[in-house]
Amino acid sequence: MTNSRTILICSGKGGVGKTTLTANLGIALAGQGARTVVLDADFGLRNLDLLLGLENRIVYTAQEVLAETCRLDQALVKHKQEPNLALLPAGNPRMLEWLKPEDMQTIAGMLSERFDYVLIDCPAGIEDGFKNAVAAAKEAIVITTPEVSAVRDADRVIGLLNTHGVSPVQLVLNRVRPKMMANQDMLAVDDVTDILALPLLGLVLEDEQVIVSTNRGEPLTLNGSASPAAKAYGNIASRLQGEDIPLMDPAKERRGIRARVRRLMQTKIF
Amino acid sequence: MTAEPSPSVPDCLQLPAFRSISWQQWLPAQLASLPGRTIDLDTGDWSLSCRELDELLTALHAAGHDVHVVTTRCRNTLISATALGLTARLATHDHPAGEASADQQKRPESIAGLTVHRGTLRSGDHIETRGHLLIVGDVNPGGSASADGDVYVWGRLRGRAHAGRQGNGNAKIVALQLRPLQLRIAELVARGPDERPQPGLAEQACILDGAIAIEPASPPFAAQQP
């Protein structure tokens, strides 16, 4: 496909929400009608299949595709509720020993012939796993949280993406807590964009529903949940498709009492 | 210079001036004339991505040579080299690496030229020059800039900076916004100030009474001729 987009989702630091963003963005893009595939490049610690609830459906992996012991469409796992979304699972961790950047390019090339969006879930760190993943990507989304260590690592990764010629690179700020930001207990949005100097693709509020959805293997964007994080992921997908949706303002989000009550009602207590 | 056909000084591998051939073709013939195990690599004007440089290093390593320092005139190569964890130096156009060092041996106080770097130094990036260094862009936390002469940052300095690397106590560090993690001038080290600087005021750090002090930048802060 000529206008297929191959997007790397990376952060440098671990645990900031790469895999969660990949899963939710994949579902959201597929829900908007785009043929989407998510590729797990985290061979050492794979869990994108877990988040999508597809762990038990995996027969073949990227490893068999590369070894040509199966066809690509045999390895692709179609999502049960969202037929526009497919997953190409990571092979076993020992793949790391022989996988080369060219192999990732081969896989990404095959996928981009069939899909509008190829989302690559990058491993944490900047070692071989990152180098392999970045070789296959044309553009990137850097995700970070408003913490000094995460911002520092994101900055390092952005520098590396630039030297690898990946462009455009956009930013998603995850786990934003408006109240803490207002009290200056947390880095403000401006502080982060000031250092990283990237266009902001979206802000995602801290949301307990993310944990619930992760454990269930049902991404938030799947069931049209009205939780703030689900809305944010949907908006990110729309912006990626070129729609002009204004960014959420954390200060306003804090004030809405009605929003807070609604959030309280969504929290599944029972 | 000896009558050797290769312009490289001993222990230094210099890539050809023009990128007319690929180094894969060029390298085997050069390996025979390389003496040392640890060598310096001068990439000249070659723009090498992280991966290209890594391939070159791997080929050299396979032939029994470890690269110690990379000298380059290209910013991309400089960043690739630092990303790979090597010591990298940026040579200015009129002073290729070899000549500059010869120059310095003759006149130890002399500082050769001004290197201009355009773009932001991000975390992990490191730039090191002989002479003065001007960065048009920010130095982010985790990035560092060092020079034998002065360091000027036309932007925000939030990382580390080292001026007068070879011991020049008159060197200074100037930035439009001086919020460094650490400053070094010659052998002195100072932590950055804890409070935020006044907005819109360029500041400079220099040695006053044996300690690094920060003061408003004096207007004619252009490099003084040695």
Q: Are residues B192 and B156 in contact, defined by beta-carbon separation less than 8 angstroms?
A: no
Q: Are residues B72 and B117 in the same domain?
A: no
Question: Virtual CA dihedral for B214, B220, B127, B187, nearest 10 degrees?
Answer: -50
Position A265 confidence tier, pLDDT thresholds 50, 70, 90:
low
Residue in B with minimal Cα distance to A160: B83
Mean pLDDT of chain B: 79
Q: Mean pLDDT across the stretch B15-25?
A: 74
Candidates 3.40.50.300, 3.40.1280.10, 3.40.640.10, 3.40.190.10; CATH matching A5-266: 3.40.50.300
Position B112 confidence tier, pLDDT thresholds 50, 70, 90:
low
A100 touches chain B (CB under 8 A): no
- pLDDT of A255 higher than 80: no
Q: Are residues A98 and A49 in contact, defined by beta-carbon separation less than 8 angstroms?
A: no
Contacts of A153 in chain B (CB under 8 A): 123
Minimal C-alpha gap between B51 and chain A (Å)? 8
Residue in A with minimal Cα distance to B51: A164
- pLDDT of B1 higher than 80: no
Position B104 confidence tier, pLDDT thresholds 50, 70, 90:
very low
The one-letter code for the residue type at A124 is: A
Which residues of B make CB contacts under 8 Å with A? 49-51, 76, 79-80, 83, 120, 122-125, 138, 140-142, 158
Phi/psi of residue A163, each to 5°?
A: -70, -25
Q: What is the pLDDT of residue A257?
A: 58
Say whether A163 and B50 touch across the interface (CB within 8 A).
yes
Q: Are residues A1 and A116 in contact, defined by beta-carbon separation less than 8 angstroms?
A: yes
Position B76 confidence tier, pLDDT thresholds 50, 70, 90:
confident
Rounded distance, CA A108 to CA A119, Å? 9
Position B97 confidence tier, pLDDT thresholds 50, 70, 90:
very low
Q: Are residues B54 and B152 in the same domain?
A: no
Q: Are residues B127 and B201 in the same domain?
A: yes
Q: pLDDT per residue over A105-147, tens digit each? A: 999 999 999 999 999 999 999 999 999 999 999 999 999 999 9
Q: pLDDT per residue over A20-39, tens digit each? A: 999 999 999 999 999 999 99
Position B94 confidence tier, pLDDT thresholds 50, 70, 90:
very low
Q: Which residues pair with A8 in a beta bridge?
A: A120, A140
Name the residue among A54, A76, A50 with its Cα closest to residue A65. Answer: A76
Q: Are residues A28 and A109 in contact, defined by beta-carbon separation less than 8 angstroms?
A: no
Q: pLDDT per residue over A75-111, tens digit each? A: 999 999 999 999 999 888 888 788 899 999 999 999 9
Any domain includes B102:
no
Task: Catalogue the long-range contacts made by B131-140 (C-beta closer than 8 Å, 24 or more residues apart).
Answer: B131/B92, B131/B95, B131/B100, B132/B223, B138/A197, B139/B175, B139/B180, B140/A155, B140/A195
Contacts of B124 in chain A (CB under 8 A): 155-156, 159-160
Q: Which residues contact B21 (CB under 8 A, 6 or more apart)?
A: none
Contacts of B79 in chain A (CB under 8 A): 159, 162-163
Return the minimum-mean-pLDDT range out of A199-213, B36-50, B71-85, B106-120: B106-120
Any domain includes B225:
no
Any domain includes B58:
yes
Rounded distance, CA A105 to CA A137, Å? 8
- pLDDT of B23 higher than 90: no
Any domain includes B106:
no
Any domain includes B95:
no
Minimal C-alpha gap between A160 and chain B (Å)? 7
Q: Which domain holds residue B71?
A: 1-90
Q: pLDDT per residue over B120-150, tens digit each? A: 999 988 999 888 999 999 999 999 999 999 9
- pLDDT of B225 higher than 70: no
Residue in A with minimal Cα distance to B77: A163
Rounded distance, CA A240 to CA A261, Å? 30
Q: What is the pLDDT of residue A86?
A: 97
Among A131, A156, A165, the residue with its CB nearest the CB of B123 is A156
Minimal C-alpha gap between A60 and chain B (Å)? 30
Question: Virtual CA dihedral for A47, A50, A54, A58, nearest 10 degrees?
Answer: 40
Residue with tokens 């990949």: A22
* Tally of CB atoms within 10 A around A241: 15
Q: Which residues pair with B117 in a beta bridge?
A: B135
Any domain includes B155:
yes
Question: Virtual CA dihedral for A229, A201, A130, A109, nearest 10 degrees?
Answer: 100
| Residue in A163, A166, A171, A196 to test binding to B, most B beta-carbons within 10 Å | A163
Minimal C-alpha gap between B127 and chain A (Å)? 13
Contacts of B49 in chain A (CB under 8 A): 163-165
Say whether B49 and A163 touch across the interface (CB within 8 A).
yes
Position B3 confidence tier, pLDDT thresholds 50, 70, 90:
very low
Q: Mean pLDDT across the stretch B33-60?
A: 81
Rounded distance, CA B29 to CA B105, Å? 32
- pLDDT of B222 higher than 80: no
Terminal C-alpha separation, chain B: 28
Position A263 confidence tier, pLDDT thresholds 50, 70, 90:
low
Q: Which residues contact B160 (CB under 8 A, 6 or more apart)?
A: B139, B143, B144, B145, B180, B181, B182, B183, B184
A128 touches chain B (CB under 8 A): no
Q: Are residues B211 and B119 in the same domain?
A: yes
Residue in A with minimal Cα distance to B47: A163
Among A131, A158, A163, the residue with its CB nearest the CB of B80 is A163
Q: What is the pLDDT of residue B34?
A: 74
Structural domain tally of chain B? 2
Residue in A with minimal Cα distance to B78: A163
- pLDDT of B105 higher than 70: no
> In the listed set B48, B75, B90, which residue is the last one of a domain according to the structure?
B90
How is residue B73 written in tokens?
Answer: 């005139």
Rounded distance, CA B46 to CA B53, Å? 10
- pLDDT of B103 higher than 80: no
How is residue A180 written in tokens?
Answer: 């803490």
Minimal C-alpha gap between A104 and chain B (Å)? 14
Question: Which CATH number characterizes residue B173's domain?
Answer: 2.160.20.70
Give the angle subtended at the CA of B221 by the CAs of B216 and B225, to the nearest 5°: 145
Return the minimum-mean-pLDDT range out of A33-42, B34-43, B134-143, B175-184: B34-43
Any domain includes B85:
yes
Q: Which residues contact B37 (CB under 8 A, 6 or more apart)?
A: B64, B65, B66
Cβ-based contacts under 8 A for chains A and B: 45
Position A259 confidence tier, pLDDT thresholds 50, 70, 90:
low
Position B65 confidence tier, pLDDT thresholds 50, 70, 90:
confident
